[in-house]
A and B are shown apart, each in its own frame.
Chain A
Amino acid sequence: MATTVSKPDLLVGKSIRRREDPRLLTGTAIYLDDIKMPGMHHACIVRSPHGAARIKSINTKPALDRPGVAAVFTGADIASLGAVPCAASLPGLRVPHHHLLAQDRVYYQGHPVAVVVATDRYLAADAADAVEVEYEPLPAVTDPEKAIAAGAPAVHPEWADNIAFTFHQEGGDTAQAFRDAEVIVKQRITSQRLIPVALETRGVVADWRPGEKSLTLFSSTQIPHLMRSLVAGILGMPENLLRVITPEVGGGFGSKLNVYAEEALMAFIAKRINKPVKWVESRRENFQATIHGRGHVDYFELAAKRDGTMLGLKLKLIADLGAYHQLLTPAIPTLSVLMMPGLYRFKNVTADIVGVFTNCVPTDAYRGAGRPEATHGIERMVDMLARELNMDPVELRLKNFVGNDEFPFPTATGLSYDSGNYAAPLKQALAQAGYPELRTEQAQARKEGRLMGIGIATYGEICALGPSAALPAGGWESATVKIEPSGKVTVMTGASPHGQGEETTFAQMAADALGVGIDDVLVVHGDTAVVQYGIGTFGSRGTAVGGAALFYALEELKAKVRKFGAMMLDTDSVTLSGGACVDEKTGKSISFAEVAAAAYHAKKLPPNTEPGLVSTHFWEPPNFTFPFGAHLVVTEVDRETGNIEIKRYIAVDDCGKIINPLLVAGQVHGGVAQGLGQALWEQAVYDDTGQLLTGELTDYAIPKAHFMPWIESSHTCTPSPVNPMGVKGVGEAGTIGCSPAVVNSVVDALAPLGVRHIDMPLTPEKIWKMIAQGGQA
């Protein structure tokens, strides 16, 4: 027992170095493909080269005859297993049976047809080439608008119109708003299909233990527990005999927020061949067979008064779903609708979604998932309205923002914005940019014939997904905190971080709450046999929901520690500080380790207290959180080639309280890079027969180091009342704010030519054509 302990500085709010880093930097972290097991076999998947075809025959014999080949499986082998799951439900949703392997038809290029299993990866790949599949190619349709036109080929023969669902949502009185309108601006705006390109592709290792009838599935996923439930369902095996482990995950961005055919297939195969089996997706397969994102065609109409007051918004959204529903496919466009009013006050909104089947790989959640599309739309529309009214786009926005005194603000789409000061980041961005001077500079540039643009986008986003009512499989998160008998702390989170750095932020929180050093805290995640059930990491929920669960678990545990401490110090109450329980009155303290030992040795217990120091909390969030911000981009366009140069990029984001600025900066930069990729370069292009033309990294241009503009990033801070830490979430902000800011800037640059709108990506060719044709697309 010692006296006086100095109060340590709190770690929350500081740029604590990432605890994940040493293993990542030295190459010693274990990712999926680093797993080796005795007797492990390798699977290679034979995929359809066609966008649509009938399978006339499959001859597996030539593959089976090749060296090292253990087995070949085709659609017939798995026909009785369950389907690839879709968790989203909508009234009248058409759900095609999504077999693990194609049956008599293939529906998109990359559709799995057979699996070859061999003793080594190269042998499996060579043998896969030897499988003879005879196809009868069928007409395909890859453009969602063409797919719903009369006479289009049917993706699924049973549904000739290619419509998977229609969905209507309405708030306020849009018809009246449009009758009251003095100006109506209309525009078709697309958010092109994107490919997530996590640097690590997907992969699965399945290990069947015949004695225990249990199966361990290693998967590079964002959702280990949901995967366990769903794969057990597909295979018809007891959930508690399936264990899912996520090794280090090399990025996801939504593409690993899914259960794919391969997870269930490998589980099935491991059991059939009684050997561990590994499948690692090639980059080519990753392009063809992992979900894509976006793929929205939006028809917007915005009604306003001449003074700039916005009255109402109409949207017809044609969503390219691809050939099947993956886990959340049909839900993504509905998220888009929720966000369509942006940060603005108007209350009259009507949206109609048509979800369309195409002969493409399914779309699903990709960084932002529905929200970037909505934000891109409203922010483009606001700029067009400003032009129509001859108003400064800044002034128009300020006029229509939800006011600071209006929170919680109920939106026309049924949300309740938690807190905000929407003008603050915009004003900060303008001040930083020197907005009036920039406009003067622009006027001068225009006189010289140079094409300089200034673009602004303000955004709001829905984070901390989310209340359980809003998500198919629950929107809570869980945390367990254990103080081990030695006083070391273990945190187990149901979230599944894969780059976000929660091993660091959660350790910061635990260290602060318990008054221990950060090195005494271990954060564990991603093993269903070790960690209590959880939902996973996506939708900027890791810290805002998972962190809140941890907060309450820590509170509960602290209370118990204090009871033991008070008992041992023979006092009424103690505080936790500097790795000890302290009696503030006497200054006496007892170390954490001593308290922990006492709690486990249990020679003496405080009244009504059980032995041990463990607490688990499942936290149900009462609402989403709504971060917001403003991005300002200055561009210049080269007339000869159509090249765009980004001269300045200013991002002011408000993500509420910040636990670790270093990590938040990383999320902002990374998010902007992906937004920039969408704005300028990236697009998944299918031809009319269903061939993916951008099927390699050479053709699908993601940003590189030296293309990134210097991002001037700063923050305003409006705490969220939704969770006890006041955080809002930041994972998707950069992506959402970026694309409209860039496009607004380039449209502004080309405004002297009469250009009003350009669809992404703003490739040099597209821009050049606009210039060459005097502003006509």
Chain B
Amino acid sequence: MAFDFTLNGRKVHVAGVPPQTTLLDFIRGQGLTGAKEGCAEGECGACTVLLVKANGSGSAFVPVNSCLMFLPMAAGQEIYTVEALANGGRLAECQQAMVDQGGSQCGYCTPGFVVSMFAEQYRPERSGPCDVHALSGNLCRCTGYRPIADAAATLGAPAADRFTERMQRPAPSIGAVNHGGFLRPTTLAECFALLAAHPGARKVAGGTDVAVESNLRGRRFDALISLEALEELRVFRASANEIEIGAGLTLTEISARWTAAPAVWHEWLPLFASPLIRNRATLGGNLATASPIGDGPPLLLALDARVRIAGPQGERMLPLDQFFRGYRQTALQPGELLLSVIVPEPLPALARFYKAAKRRMDDISTVAACFAFDIDDRGVVRRARMAYGGVAAIPLRAVEAEETIVGARWNESAVHRAQDVMERTLRPISDHRGSAAYRLALAQNLLEKFWWEQQAEAAA
């Protein structure tokens, strides 16, 4: 019923705190009020803190939204807050850069930006100036961002200090937790036993969906079963025939491991939420949540992915297009888990992902589309996948439209035939994010855009 974690280099012992308390509230209660609540829904980044995570044989500082972590998720972790960054009276380099560029006005967003900027400066793989996209999980309403971006742009590699020294050593590994209804098993067998013993329990991985439910909709769970310490969910295997991606890997971790990832993955990733969210969000969570406007499903549907499902009775495999059963419903039985996602090789030669949203990037999609094609030397379509989110209650492939063009030449008239079929077969919903007519038109136009972009590329 109790656990420890390390906060700014000091051990903290937690006992008797309700499990749905956020990490943010807890650290603020400890007097570390630099991290702030601006939304409690992962949108503003005012709550950003650093987790120490494994990076090769050493560690890296990974910025996350502390409002979306239930406190027991911190068990065994090593966490730093903005208060730890300045050394004695001396500001950290990124803090000084913010002063010099006028990067703070009301200051409410400032610690969050500082932490994100710090993490970017100390990111092991970084080369070149700090990228403003690294700050896209932090909102500021005062500065218009320019002075903050200017500050980031001044930062080079960090000088040797206690943080670079810390990065040489391994990250802590996380173990079992049993804290007032928050249960973190370390083996699949334990996990199934817990699921059986707590039929009302909610599984949680990164928590970026579940914590929002808790914070904003006041959901209180009978029990939370955390999948974070299950090594079985953290596999990453690339073979000649397929790539297997553990359901429990975060998007950031997948990206680091999938060194041969296709271009479409690199197109898709930055459009998915913010770096802060991607540092916690898992692919398994994204599929299991089964949001009709989630970004994972269109990508993986277009790549013909299958899912590996495990339950107390053993394992089964399911093509992803049979996984989504209804609005936010999946084929998972209550005692089952998503183990991994399997993407068959060879990957389609031509694949692109598009997301139409109000601000274009890292927003809730109005429509998301992924097209994956194989076209032979004569210009004939051998395989066509057109997968969509936001055009129905579930993510789906426009199968009839695909069929009209397979075997035909890939040209403008094929595009129009497929669009005509979509007109008849897709039945999007209308809401304040987009009318049915607009969603349908987007579904059609994005295909056309895909075609034009290829023409432009071929011409270039």
Contacts and interface: CB of A to CB of B under 8 A. Distances in A.
Interface of A: 15, 17-18, 20-31, 33-34, 121-122, 125-126, 129, 197-201, 248-253, 280, 282-284, 498-501, 640-641, 643, 662-663, 665-666, 668-674, 680-681, 685, 687, 693-694, 696-699, 701-708, 710-711, 734, 763-765, 768-769, 772
B141 A199 contact: yes
Nearest to A671: B144
B232 interface: no
11 contacts: A25-B98, A33-B28, A199-B44, A199-B106, A200-B36, A501-B105, A641-B449, A666-B105, A681-B358, A693-B432, A704-B136
Contact of A706 (B25, B39, B44, B136): B136
B34 A27 contact: yes
Contacts of B146: 665, 669, 708, 710-711
A347 B217 CA distance: 55
A768 to B, nearest CB: 7
B417 interface: no
Contacts of B20: 122
A705 B141 contact: no
Contacts of B220: 126
Given A670-B143, A699-B364, A25 B95 contact: yes
B269 interface: no
Contact of A765 (B21, B110, B114, B434): B434
A499 B142 contact: yes
A643 B360 contact: yes
Interface in B408-460: 431-435, 438, 441-442, 445-446, 448-449, 452
Given A698-B364, A707-B359, A669 B104 contact: no
Contacts of A696: 39, 41, 43, 216
A391 to B, nearest CB: 33
Given A701-B363, A705-B148, A27 B108 contact: no
Nearest to A766: B438
Given A698-B41, A699-B433, A764-B356, A705 B132 contact: yes
Nearest to B39: A283
B136 A705 contact: yes
Nearest to A123: B18
Give the most central of A20, A33, A705: most B CB within 10 Å.
A705
Interface in B31-50: 32-41, 43-44, 46
A25 B104 contact: yes
B147 interface: yes
Contacts of B362: 704
B7 interface: no
Contact of A772 (B98, B105, B366, B441): B441
Given A198-B141, A708-B145, A283 B107 contact: no
Contacts of B136: 704-706
A680 B358 CA distance: 9
A705 B103 CA distance: 12
A640 B449 contact: yes
Contacts of B33: 27, 30-31, 33-34
A181 to B, nearest CB: 39
Contact of A25 (B81, B99, B108): B99
B361 A251 contact: no
B102 A26 contact: no
A503 to B, nearest CB: 11
Contact of B99 (A22, A198, A500, A763): A22
B139 interface: yes
A26 B139 CA distance: 18
B235 interface: no
The secondary-structure label for the interface of chain B is loop
Contacts, number: 237
B109 interface: yes
Contacts of B111: 24-27
B46 A199 contact: yes
Which are the 4 A-B pairs with shortest beta-carbon distances? A27-B34, A250-B108, A24-B107, A669-B144
Interface of B: 18, 20-21, 25, 28, 32-41, 43-44, 46, 81-83, 85-86, 91, 95, 98-100, 102, 104-111, 114, 132-133, 135-136, 138-149, 216, 218, 220, 356, 358-364, 366, 431-435, 438, 441-442, 445-446, 448-449, 452
Nearest to A761: B358
B18 A283 contact: no
A199 B38 contact: yes
A24 B356 contact: no
B246 to A, nearest CB: 27
Given A27-B32, A701-B358, A705-B149, A250 B216 contact: no
Contacts of A768: 438, 441-442, 445
A29 B107 contact: yes
A121 B37 CA distance: 13
B106 A640 contact: no
Given A199-B109, A764-B358, A666 B143 contact: yes
Contact of A22 (B40, B91, B142): B91
Contact of B36 (A33, A501, A701, A705): A33
Contacts of A764: 356, 358, 360
B109 to A, nearest CB: 5
Contacts of B39: 283, 696-697
B141 to A, nearest CB: 5
Given A671-B144, A711-B146, 6 more contacts: A27-B34, A670-B142, A699-B433, A704-B359, A764-B360, A768-B441
A681 B32 contact: no
Contacts of B139: 199, 697, 702, 704
Among B91, B145, B356, B359, find the residue whose CB has the most chain A CB atoms closer than 10 A: B359
Of A28, A201, A663, A710, chain B has the most CB atoms within 10 Å of the CB of A28
Given A200-B36, A765-B434, A121 B25 contact: yes
A640 B442 CA distance: 8
B121 to A, nearest CB: 14
A282 B40 contact: yes
A569 to B, nearest CB: 39
A693 B25 CA distance: 28
A27 B81 contact: yes
A675 to B, nearest CB: 10
A17 B100 contact: yes
Nearest to B216: A284
Nearest to B94: A25
Contacts of A668: 144
Contacts of A769: 438
Contact of A33 (B37, B82, B83, B445): B37
Contacts of A734: 144
A501 B359 CA distance: 30
Contacts of A24: 104, 107, 110-111
A91 B346 CA distance: 76
A528 B264 CA distance: 59
B147 A665 contact: yes
Contacts of B83: 26-28
Given A22-B99, A705-B145, A283 B41 contact: yes
B441 A122 contact: no
B105 A765 contact: no
Nearest to A280: B37
A251 B34 contact: no
Contacts of A643: 360
A283 B38 contact: yes
A370 B126 CA distance: 46
A203 to B, nearest CB: 10
A662 B102 contact: yes
A768 B440 CA distance: 12
B106 A499 contact: yes
Contacts of A121: 25
B144 A251 contact: no
B143 A765 contact: no
B99 A641 contact: no
A553 B163 CA distance: 49
Contacts of A705: 132-133, 135-136, 138, 140, 145, 148-149
